[in-house]
Amino acid sequence: MANSYLVSVPATTANIGPGFDCLGAALTRYNRFTFTPLAEAETLQITVTGTERDRVATDTSNLAYAAFSQFFAHIHQPVPPVQLQIELGLPLARGLGSSSTAIVGGILGANALANQVLNTAELAQLATAIEGHPDNVVPALLGGCRLATANDAGDSTVCEVPWQSAIIPIVAIPAFEVSTAKARQVLPQHYSRTDAVYTLGHLGLLMQALATGNGDWLATALGDRIHEPYRKTLIPGYEAVSQAARQAGAYGVTISGAGPTLLALGSPTQAAAIAQAMAITWQQQGIEVVDARPLAIDTTGATVTAVNA
């Protein structure tokens, strides 16, 4: 019988303060997608398991299947009939890259069924074209912390950013959502030179802080004037939770992706206390917390495993 392919894709945290739309890191939580080829006469079958399964489409509008279909359009081949099983390990619309896991999962499943016709660089370019920006899809595909940009001709360059293992990412996920569209709408159309220079300087410092583990540098480096001042207004309790995390020992706090999840960076010895402080403070603000915990940087990225159908 034909093989099925299990694609495991990590969560991501994008922007990391001043790295708006170009910087992201893969985290050790996962969505999983299993693709099983069907006979030509059979029709699409999608099943979903996990806490928020009822919110995921099971027809052709499913994002993973849409990416699967776009892959075959990209290589000018008909879309084969497939059974898609999705195992949700990430909350939806919380700033942890759930949509990017679907895009990466879809194109990797398609590439497996198409006998690996695209290489990793081509897959990254396709995923970025589907998503619109690389900050989530590139680390989801490749793992680690990645800076992605392009030259004036549109050719992409991806740079691995060293992340000192003593810097622990801590996520606090509230029980409310911020839509990516709304998080985009609150951003201004133009920025002052002062704010642009501020953010550029902080991004440069962030690169060095992550590579060296310098906590004093991190405390400054997470500052941003491109998205954070505007998006934090969409997150009730942002200031109180951020302050609690710092008082518990965090080097700094920023919004994960478009939010509302908050990302704190701290030391291994303080990580659990930081997570607890963030959860308690949000609860004191009358907001339920879905999850608050230390994670690690996933250094592998998305994986594809052949399994017997």
Q: Is the CB of residue 23 less than 8 Å from the CB of residue 146?
A: yes
Tell me the CATH number for domain 168-294: 3.30.70.890
The boundaries of every CATH 3.30.230.10 domain in the chain are 3-161+297-308
Query: Could you tell me where in the chain the CATH 3.30.70.890 domains are found?
Result: 168-294
Q: Please, which residues have CB within 8 angstroms of residue 261's CB and are 6 or more apart in sequence? A: 13, 94, 95, 96, 171, 172, 173, 174, 255
Q: Provide the token pair at 264.
A: 């704190």
Model confidence over 146-190: pLDDT tens digits? 999 888 887 788 999 999 999 999 999 999 988 888 889 999 999
What phi-psi label fits residue 289: left (phi over 0), alpha (psi between -120 and 50 degrees) or beta?
beta
Cis peptide before 260 (omega within 30 of 0): yes
What is residue 273's predicted lDDT score, i.e. its pLDDT?
98
| Average pLDDT score, the chain | 94
Q: Are strands 3-14 and 23-37 parallel, antiparallel or unpaired?
A: antiparallel
For the entire predicted model, the pTM comes to 0.94
* CATH class of residue range 3-161+297-308: alpha beta
Report how far residue 136's alpha carbon sits from residue 97's, in angstroms, rounded to the nearest whole number.
6
**pLDDT tens digits along 252-297:** 999 999 999 999 999 999 999 999 999 999 999 999 987 999 999 9
Q: Which two tokens stand for residue 121?
A: 């660089």
Q: How far apart are CA 15 and CA 245, in angstroms?
A: 19
